[in-house]
Amino acid sequence: MKSLTFDYVIVGGGSAGCVLAARLAAESGGSVVLLERGRADRNRWIHIPATFFKALQSQDADAVISEPDASLGGLRFPVPQGKVLGGGSSVNGMIYMRGQAQDYDDWVRDYGCVGWGYKDVLPVFKRQEGNTRLGQEYHGQDGKLVVDDPSAPHPVAARIIEAAVSAGVPRSDDFNGASQEGAGWYQVTASDGQRQSAAHCFLKPELKRENLVVLTHHSAGRIRIENRRATAVEVTDDTGNQLLIEARREIVLTAGSFHSPKLLMLSGIGPRDLLDRHGIEIIHESDDVGRNYQDHVGAPLTRRLKGVKGLHNADKGLAAIKHGVDYFLFNRGLLTSNLLQAGACVDTDGDGRPDVQYNFAPFAPGAPGQPPLAFHAIQVHPMTMRPQSRGRLGLASRDPNAAPKFEASALDREADLDTLRRGVRLARRICEQPDLKDILGEEIWPGADVSTKAGSNTLDDAIRKQARTIFHPAGTCRMGPGTDSVVDLELRVRGIEGLRVADCSVMPQLVSGNTNAPTMMIADRAADFMLGNS
């Protein structure tokens, strides 16, 4: 088997891997290789903000599909993942949201993650951020990650914001400022007609460095561990050739909440019962590898539009030609937009913290796994912000090419179902406001025959059928101060030297909001630890 040797081996070229590889190449003085199972981010649909849904339907994304989920009435729970340089940041909806300050303080208070409180992570968010409008206490303006206001704001989205305010939701000008609560326009990782992915902002500027190598189409199968030290990664390229990538200093997994724990388990680090079942030699018993899976779950209320147009068929016919001319000749118009431009964070249970996030949009999805609605419609989409349900990731086979065994348990806790009940009730109230009432037709979901009154079984059944991922899987390699955690507070894998995990799988609890910004923050902190800057 051919071998290559580097100082640092980074496994996974998504948001975290791009940030970490770029910093190590620029600051460590050592050689760095970044391994990505997908291809380079050359797909045009990635870089045009409005076409992210086309990128999600291309070879640059795949999905991990759960076992039948009893909490969803036996339905499966598919979770798409980026499979391309930039990972999720190359195929996501580009919403820039960090979560609540209390999320990080809870990591300290409830999970013992000292050094990960809001006062510790805010400076990292700020140094990464190049905000085009906001600054001062909560934002940076000199960082590499361009964060902007949404381009070409849609008038229907503006009306949904006004309806939310009329329904009693405060107005927000900054979901990442002093308070997250409110309704308003998101800030986004898209600017000047260009998606601002981690690959574009962090990795691309460093690619000319001689000490940085990026290997796409290379899938990691197992970590070699000698005398309890991680020494190399066994890799297969897209032609089936095997390669050994050796590490002089460290190996870091940045492959996400499915593939990082899967790789640990294939390498002999995980629960004894699971490894024994698949005949994998146990190098270090770690029961929490693959446990603690969590995701934001949503159930979008959808209504038909009347008298006004949303985005239905905007990518077809003469409309598509017009949008293409606007974009390619004048860098303006719909294609410069991330489409998911507006939303709200609302305290529906009265505890003083938003517990439901809403996406507002002038288009509407169908049932899970089905195409968007085939007419002009809107969505007012409630999502759980701090889910209590916990799933588990395991192995279906010791074959590295096999999909992991995934038990989502998406709405396993009554509290999460109740959060969505409250979310749907408020969504209905928003749609009844004068700002929207004159432009809305029939309710498609949950539908006129579904009651939202307390105790309605019809609503519960409807939610289970409509429930879907918000693309934020986390927690499967959780960090903590105790020996039962997968990684320690500097993200080192317990029981093994020279190995870390630095992606959203280390979150002990999912943050209240989108995960791309927190994932890049985690990777940046990993660089601090590795460079001795913590």
pLDDT-above-90 percentage for the chain: 97
For residues 295 and 15, give the distance between their C-alpha atoms in angstroms, rounded to a whole number. 18
Residue 445 belongs to some domain of the structure:
yes
Report, as an integer, the average pLDDT of 287-297: 98
Residue 377 belongs to some domain of the structure:
yes
67-110 per-position pLDDT tens digit: 999 999 999 999 999 999 999 999 999 999 999 999 999 999 99
Residue 301 belongs to some domain of the structure:
yes
Other C-beta atoms lying within 10 Å of the C-beta of residue 235: 24
Directed axis angle between helix 414-431 and helix 155-166, to 10°? Answer: 110
Residue 176 belongs to some domain of the structure:
yes
pTM for the predicted model, two decimal places: 0.97
CA distances from 509 to 67, 184, 384, 391, 505 (A): 23, 26, 13, 13, 10
Residue 166 belongs to some domain of the structure:
yes
Confidence grade of residue 534 (pLDDT, cut at 50, 70, 90): low
Domain that holds residue 167: 151-185+297-384+412-466
Residue 441 belongs to some domain of the structure:
yes
Q: How many structural domains are present in the chain? A: 1
Report, as an integer, the average pLDDT of 264-287: 97
| Domain harbouring 341, CATH code | 3.30.410.40
423-458 per-position pLDDT tens digit: 999 999 999 999 999 999 999 999 999 998 887 789
Residue 35 belongs to some domain of the structure:
no
**Which residues are known to be catalytic?**
472
Residue 330 belongs to some domain of the structure:
yes
Among residues 485, 481, 526, the alpha carbon closest in space to that of 502 is found at 526
Q: Is 61 left (phi over 0), alpha (psi -120 to 50) or beta?
A: beta
